[in-house]
């Protein structure tokens, strides 16, 4: 089978479907996509709110709760434990299939009336109400997409982290601050792309380093500053001179470090024990292409933040024993054959177009089913009835499309239209990776949520914040602090410091931040290169490479072989 050039129905650019892709589509019995990979990724990202929380009432118990859904959601929202309880039955919302109407239209009707869980959590939550998409959080605050976080603050995408704050893509680490893509680190600050490091600040792409500062591409190093080796005593004196406990010096030296790291080569693809991969951030992967942040994945394409999975395409986040997943989001834990699904986990198998159906099997177009089986539009059937009706619906979807306001046609084999997202575009991860203006988002069919005018009464201006934490007393937890980037549309304008946060800054000898969580999170996200593949050449051997690092981010790019020779 040959590759085929297609024109994206959404953005009108050309894209290629590879022979292996056709084999996958044939195996799962769906037609090839009509949207390009980037538009498909953007559409998946727009299905999930990860970091925006609202205060509201539980529509079942009346309790005050935190939720990923605002008060204006069209469907009832239940506190997570209440949603899992036997106090309500999702089959009560079942609908008969109406063959005179497009199936997508009927799914949207169902979607807008079935109750949803307020926050996604697995396991036991201990003193962590402000957490979402987490497993077993303990004493954590504003922590998202994390497994087993303990005493964590403002952390995103983490696993087994303890006493960490303002960090993202951080794994098996403790006492870390403002770190991105770090693993197995201790007492690390302002660092990125580093592993097995401790007692250091401002590292980039370092391995097994301790007591280092402002270093790049070092391996097994100790007592280094700006990649220069010192004695233990010299290092201690130099570090004192840098005054890394003052806000002004941190900000000034951070700018210097950004320029310094561009003098060093960056490996075209960040990989560990992986082969036949394209994209970035791979560990123990094989034959995975145009994908990012994958661990122990085999045979995949167009993936993002997926681990322990095999034979998957167009899949965003999770995994943990996942097989043959296509065009799905937030699905994981012993799952198989999920197509066009969102938030289906814990043994979910053989689902089509389902939303929030943990443990469900053999369902089509269902919403909120807990361990449901042989169901369509939340109505239960016998196995034979289910198979017959499923085939009838697929046939209808192939013949009669759902047409959105832009005139784009959705047949069987396409993911849910943008208008089906439970969230406004600017509430989702899509807005970080593919930022749009309000007008652009609405034009593309997405919803948009207007910024609420909080009118915070600021009690502490930026100019009044002290340089060091030593100058701060406990009264600061009562202050409403001005955000330095308050005019940014993403800023909430002001912020407060919690007692646990203050304790962390004192322990780490760090100054009070100058911006709200939203801005700090956005800045961390922007430290990583965009999810776009660029053709470049290795600066050492001139071989062609495909990378996410553009000239501005990394002027010097090396292929795997040249990087290994130079750095290791």
* DSSP codes of every residue in 111-131: HTTS-EESS-EES--BS-TTE
338 pLDDT above the threshold of 80: yes
Q: Can you give the pLDDT at residue 331?
A: 96
Tell me how far apart the terminal alpha carbons of the chain are, to the nearest angstrom. 41
Give the pLDDT band of residue 362 (cuts 50, 70, 90): very high
Q: How far is residue 139's CA from residue 126's CA, in Å, rounded to a whole number?
A: 6
- Cα 283 to its chain centre, rounded Å, is 17
Locate the DSSP E strands across 92-243. Answer: 116-117, 121-122, 131-135, 143-147, 153-159, 165-171, 174-177, 180-183, 186-189, 192-195, 198-204, 210-216, 222-225, 228-229
568 pLDDT above the threshold of 90: no
98 pLDDT above the threshold of 80: yes
Q: What is the pLDDT of residues 220-265, one digit of tens each?
A: 999 999 999 999 999 999 999 999 999 999 999 999 999 999 999 9
256, 258, 253, 243: which is closest to 510 by C-alpha? 243
Q: Can you give the pLDDT at residue 2?
A: 79
Q: How far is residue 520's CA from residue 516's CA, in Å, rounded to a whole number?
A: 6
- For range 415-432, the mean pLDDT: 92
3 pLDDT above the threshold of 90: no
Q: Can you give the pLDDT at residue 1?
A: 66
Portion of the chain with pLDDT greater than 70, in percent? 100
Host H or E run for residue 242? helix 232-242
Three-state DSSP class for residue 135: strand
Do 406 and 417 meet the contact criterion of CB atoms below 8 Å apart?
Answer: no
Give the pLDDT band of residue 471 (cuts 50, 70, 90): very high
105 pLDDT above the threshold of 70: yes
Q: How far is residue 502's CA from residue 290's CA, in Å, rounded to a whole number?
A: 41
Q: What is the pLDDT of residues 45-94, one digit of tens each?
A: 999 999 999 999 999 999 999 999 999 899 999 999 999 999 999 999 99
CA contacts within 13 A on the Cβ side of 88: 20
- For range 12-35, the mean pLDDT: 93
Give the pLDDT band of residue 490 (cuts 50, 70, 90): confident
Q: Can you give the pLDDT at residue 388?
A: 97
129 pLDDT above the threshold of 70: yes
Q: Can you give the pLDDT at residue 271?
A: 93
Three-state DSSP class for residue 373: strand
307 pLDDT above the threshold of 70: yes
Do 340 and 415 meet the contact criterion of CB atoms below 8 Å apart?
Answer: yes
Backbone angles phi, psi at 206, to 5 degrees: -115, 155
What's the whole-number average pLDDT of the chain? Answer: 95
Number of Cβ within a 10 Å radius of residue 431: 21
Q: Can you give the pLDDT at residue 456?
A: 87
337 pLDDT above the threshold of 80: yes
454 pLDDT above the threshold of 80: no
Q: How far is residue 529's CA from residue 434's CA, in Å, rounded to a whole number?
A: 12
Give the pLDDT band of residue 19 (cuts 50, 70, 90): confident
- Cα 170 to its chain centre, rounded Å, is 12
Give the pLDDT band of residue 453 (cuts 50, 70, 90): confident
Q: Can you give the pLDDT at residue 558?
A: 97
Q: How far is CA 216 from CA 195, 221, 228, 283, in A?
A: 12, 11, 11, 21
Q: What is the pLDDT of residues 151-200, one digit of tens each?
A: 999 999 999 999 999 999 999 999 999 999 999 999 999 999 999 999 99
Do 144 and 50 meet the contact criterion of CB atoms below 8 Å apart?
Answer: yes
């Amino acid at each position: 089978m040959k590759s085929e050039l297609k024109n994206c129905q959404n953005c009108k650019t050309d894209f290629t479907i590879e022979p292996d892709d056709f084999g996958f589509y044939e195996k799962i019995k769906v037609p090839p996509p009509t949207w390009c990979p980037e538009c498909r990724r953007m559409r998946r990202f727009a299905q999930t709110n990860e970091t925006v929380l609202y205060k509201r009432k539980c529509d079942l118990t009346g309790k005050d709760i935190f939720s990923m859904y605002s008060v204006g959601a069209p469907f009832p929202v239940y506190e997570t434990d209440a949603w899992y309880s036997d106090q309500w039955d999702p089959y009560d919302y079942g609908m008969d299939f109406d063959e005179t109407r497009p199936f997508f239209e009927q799914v949207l009707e169902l979607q807008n009336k079935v109750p949803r869980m307020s926050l996604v959590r697995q396991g036991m939550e201990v003193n962590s109400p402000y957490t979402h998409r987490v497993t077993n959080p303990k004493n954590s605050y504003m922590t998202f997409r994390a497994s087993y976080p303990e005493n964590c603050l403002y952390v995103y995408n983490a696993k087994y982290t303890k006493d960490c704050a303002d960090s993202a893509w951080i794994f098996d680490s403790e006492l870390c601050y403002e770190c991105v893509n770090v693993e197995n680190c201790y007492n690390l600050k302002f660092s990125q792309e580093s592993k097995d490091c401790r007692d250091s600040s401002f590292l980039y792409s370092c391995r097994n380093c301790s007591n280092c500062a402002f270093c790049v591409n070092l391996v097994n190093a100790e007592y280094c500053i700006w990649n220069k080796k010192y004695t233990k005593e010299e290092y201690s004196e130099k570090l004192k001179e840098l005054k890394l406990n003052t806000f002004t010096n941190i900000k000034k030296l951070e700018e210097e470090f950004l320029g310094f790291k561009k003098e060093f080569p960056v490996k075209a693809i960040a990989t560990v024990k992986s082969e036949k991969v394209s994209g970035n951030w791979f560990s123990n992967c094989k034959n995975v292409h145009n994908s990012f942040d994958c661990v122990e994945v085999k045979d995949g394409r167009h993936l993002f933040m997926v681990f322990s999975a095999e034979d998957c395409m167009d899949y965003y986040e999770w995994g943990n024993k996942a097989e043959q997943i296509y065009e799905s989001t937030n699905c994981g834990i012993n799952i198989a054959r999920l197509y066009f699904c969102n938030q289906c986990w814990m043994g979910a198998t053989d689902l089509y177009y389902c939303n929030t159906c943990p443990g469900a099997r053999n369902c089509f177009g269902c919403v909120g089913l807990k361990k449901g089986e042989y169901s369509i539009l939340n109505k239960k059937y016998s196995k034979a009835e289910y198979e017959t009706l499923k085939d009838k619906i697929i046939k209808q979807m192939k013949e009669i499309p759902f047409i959105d306001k832009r005139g784009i046609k959705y047949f069987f084999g396409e993911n849910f239209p943008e208008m089906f997202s439970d969230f406004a575009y600017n509430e989702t991860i899509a807005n970080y990776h593919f930022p749009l203006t309000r007008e652009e988002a609405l034009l593309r069919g997405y919803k948009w949520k207007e910024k609420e005018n909080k009118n915070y009464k600021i009690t502490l201006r930026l100019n009044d914040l002290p340089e060091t934490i030593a100058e701060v007393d406990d009264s600061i937890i009562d202050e409403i602090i001005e955000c330095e980037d308050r005019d940014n549309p993403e800023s909430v304008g002001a912020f407060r410091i919690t007692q646990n946060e203050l304790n962390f800054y004192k322990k780490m000898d760090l100054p009070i931040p100058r911006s709200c969580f939203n801005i700090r999170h956005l800045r961390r996200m922007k430290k990583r290169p965009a999810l776009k593949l660029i053709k470049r050449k290795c600066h050492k051997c001139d071989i062609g490479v495909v990378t996410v690092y553009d000239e501005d981010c990394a002027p010097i790019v090396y292929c795997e072989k040249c990087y290994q020779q130079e750095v290791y």
